[in-house]
Amino acid sequence: MRPVAVAGIGKTAFGAFPDHDLRSLAVEAGQKALENGHASASQVEAFYLGNFAGPSFTGQNHLAPYVATAMGITGVPATRFEAACASSGSAFFHAVSAVGAGLYDIVLVVGVEKMTSQPTPKVTEILAGAGDGCGEVRAGATFPALFAMIARRHMYQYGTTREQLAAVAVKNHQNGAKNPLAHMRKVITMEQALAGKMIAEPLTVYDCSLISDGAAAVLIMPLERASEFTDKPVRVLGIAQTSDHVALDEKDDITTFSAVKTSAAKAYKMAGVEAKDIQFAEVHDCFTIAEIIAIEDLGFVPKGQGGPYSLAGGTCIHGERPVNASGGLKSKGHPVGATGTGQICDVVEQIRGQAGERQVKRNSLGLAQNLGGSGATSVITILGAA
């Protein structure tokens, strides 16, 4: 496999945008990535779109060529990838695989979701479709309910507390308040987080990510060609995608996501690094418990220590290992199809030293962890300075 580099990135703001449809969001992010990578639409050899539920949210199918042609990209493969909340992480994984294999040189990956076109109950129903339709969904389970069960079990097995969950929310809101593209730029206190409206006990509204619109895009190419397009290429050092059972009742232990552990092990091996070498990370905090479990499964802390480590400030921007300096899904927003590429963009910004007030000090080796559903899909990407 030949080395692959990110040459360009582009993001829209994440939020609620009644005047923007799915295509316009995707086009905005894609054009920004092309401009950032000093490339033109005519140079793109393949177009990969990450999108979870565009047909359900907007009524539009055949989304990849629908978006690509609006950008002036024609005559090349245009393919949509669906892997729940890991849709664009999966699209990125397959794009890197194709470039690494020599099938294409210049590939544009766009992730997009337009969620606010539907009322909240309908959004919840659509998202539940990423769970087990024959069991969980028929029983009425939503993702807040599923992750509430995960949180309760983690509390039972490891003594995790609501204060530790709240510490994740407080930290991510502090980071998101410094992110000009974040959906909720609002600092919250520990007291506010603990007193939030209960959604699914023990998770309050402050433990849950946002319903958002948005898009993010990444332009990739062989490392050997990256200098033709940018003076700030970022190398893909390791990447892996793995899967696991969709339903919680089929998992051996719901306090860990085995797909995260297996994909992380593969990505670490490919990159030639260990967990201790990762300097900062963007992880999938769809709920605060998910960030705590992520830093455990990634090997940043021992199992059961994610809560105490978070409460002690280990994951803060100036902590031992910054996590979600972007604000994470909790504050930045979670347009599910855009989350994976959004994380890649955030890691690239850090490595380039372009994160502004959110810039971490040690920024040469970063990781993105993108989760689909309640752990059925995991994509791990390790990026470093080229």
pLDDT for 269-296, tens place per residue?
999 999 999 999 999 999 999 999 999 9
Across 67-86, average pLDDT? 98
In terms of residue numbers, what domain contains 160?
140-207+235-385
CATH number of the domain where residue 327 is located: 3.40.47.10
Q: Do 242 and 370 share a domain, yes or no? A: yes
Q: What local confidence, expressed as pLDDT, does residue 167 receive?
A: 98
CA-to-CA distance for 220 and 234, rounded, in angstroms? Answer: 9
The number of beta carbons lying within 10 Å of the beta carbon of residue 242 is 20
Best CA proximity match to 89, nearest among 259, 254, 230 = 259
Quote the distance between the C-alpha of residue 14 and its chain's center. Answer: 13
Q: Do 9 and 32 share a domain, yes or no? A: yes
pTM above threshold 0.75: yes
Q: Do 178 and 269 share a domain, yes or no? A: yes
Residue 15: pLDDT above 90? Answer: yes
**DSSP single-letter state for residue 300:** S
pLDDT band at 137 (very low <50, low <70, confident <90, very high): confident
Torsion 105-355-23-339 (CA) sign: positive
Q: Do 377 and 290 share a domain, yes or no? A: yes
Across 108-137, average pLDDT? 94
Across 193-219, average pLDDT? 97
Q: What is the pLDDT of residues 287-323, one digit of tens each?
A: 999 999 999 999 999 999 999 999 999 999 999 999 9
Q: Do 100 and 191 share a domain, yes or no? A: no
Q: Compute, in degrees rounded to 10, the torsion defined by CA atoms 333, 221, 46, 260.
A: -50
134 located within any domain = no
Question: Which of 47-51, 130-134, 185-189, 198-202 shows the lowest mean pLDDT across its residues?
Answer: 130-134
Number of structural domains, the chain? Answer: 2
> Order of strands, edge to edge, in the sheet holding 234-243?
78-81, 46-50, 107-114, 213-222, 4-11, 234-243, 377-385, 365-372, 280-282
Q: Do 189 and 216 share a domain, yes or no? A: no
Q: Which residues are catalytic?
A: 85, 334
128 located within any domain = no
Q: What is the pLDDT of residues 146-157, one digit of tens each?
A: 999 999 999 999
Q: Do 160 and 273 share a domain, yes or no? A: yes
Q: Do 44 and 158 share a domain, yes or no? A: no
Q: What local confidence, expressed as pLDDT, does residue 386 receive?
A: 86
